[in-house]
Structure 1
Amino acid sequence: MIALKALVIWFAILVLAIANGVLRESVLVPGLGTPTALIVSGLLLSALIIGVTYFSLPWLHIRRPVQLWAVGLGWLALTLVFEFSFGLLQGKSWPELLEAYTFKDGNIWPLVLAVTALAPYIAAKLRGWA
């Protein structure tokens, strides 16, 4: 049951990530330029991930560190599979896909991935559970 609930939460995070991407491309990039927009967008998405996790953690009914880590690493794996699959379906090359995993030109995607993996533990800490 925890895995199914964690999957539902990940889908909510995915929807927020897509909305964040739309906001970034339609508002932030034109207004701030690409490097600053990438930083702001990455920080916003990280905050959204932690926020969703914080509010959904009681629904998951987990407190043991191993469960928190399992959910976070599961979300990381789902995110990576989604990102690479979606990119490949769009016809992007492996070098293009891997470019997102650098800190070039304001890109903080690797930090967002770290937040994704750590979010359940961070949320539990914020709640005073871990």
Structure 2
Amino acid sequence: MVTVIALKALVIWAGILVLAIANGLARESLLTPAFGTPTSLVLSGLLLSALIIGMAYVSLPWLQISRPVQFVIVGLGWLVLTIVFEFSFGLWQGKSWPELLAAYTFKGGNIWPVVLAATALAPYIAARLRGWA
């Protein structure tokens, strides 16, 4: 059963990844030209956080977990996958470690740490919204 839950959680995370890429494209093509970088980063971060929690809310019945510890484990799994992806993709693009780590500060409107917190807490928040936790 644990393997099935892990595979389902991975599929959901892949959906979150698609949402994150679409969010980034929308930020760069629509929000940044309209509002500038700092404002677009805040709006994009808030939108992505809401999308992640929404994805967790919609997918929770399919995931078939019900214990608070399971919500936490899935959320932490999504967090680890996200961080590994971000660093791997950034390094593949030729970014330096200081460039990659800059995303973890709140400079210039960047709220990436908030998005990471939303990712980790999304299953638990979704369960609370559904009245399950």
The TM-score, its normalising length taken from structure 2, stands at 0.97
Aligned partner (choices 13, 19, 22) of residue 19 of structure 1:
22
Structure 1 gaps of 5+ residues are none
Runs of 4+ off more than 3 Å? none
Aligned partner (choices 28, 37, 61) of residue 58 of structure 1:
61
Question: Are 1:93 and 2:96 matched, yes or no?
Answer: yes
How many angstroms does 1:58 deviate by? 0.4
CA RMSD of aligned residues (A): 0.3
How many angstroms does 1:10 deviate by? 0.1
Aligned partner (choices 25, 33, 36) of residue 36 of structure 2:
33
- Secondary structure at the residue paired with 2:6? helix
- Secondary structure at the residue paired with 2:8? helix
Question: Residue 30 of structure 2 aligns to which amino acid in structure 1?
Answer: V
Aligned partner (choices 76, 82, 86) of residue 73 of structure 1:
76
| Distance across 1 between alignment mates of 2:82 and 2:58 | 20
What residue number does 1:109 align with?
Answer: 112
- Secondary structure at the residue paired with 2:7? helix
How many angstroms does 1:122 deviate by? 0.1
The TM-score, its normalising length taken from structure 1, stands at 0.99
What residue number does 1:83 align with?
Answer: 86
What residue number does 2:131 align with?
Answer: 128
Percentage of matched positions with identical amino acids: 78
Structure 2 gaps of 5+ residues are none
| Distance across 1 between alignment mates of 2:43 and 2:117 | 16
| Distance across 2 between alignment mates of 1:63 and 1:98 | 35
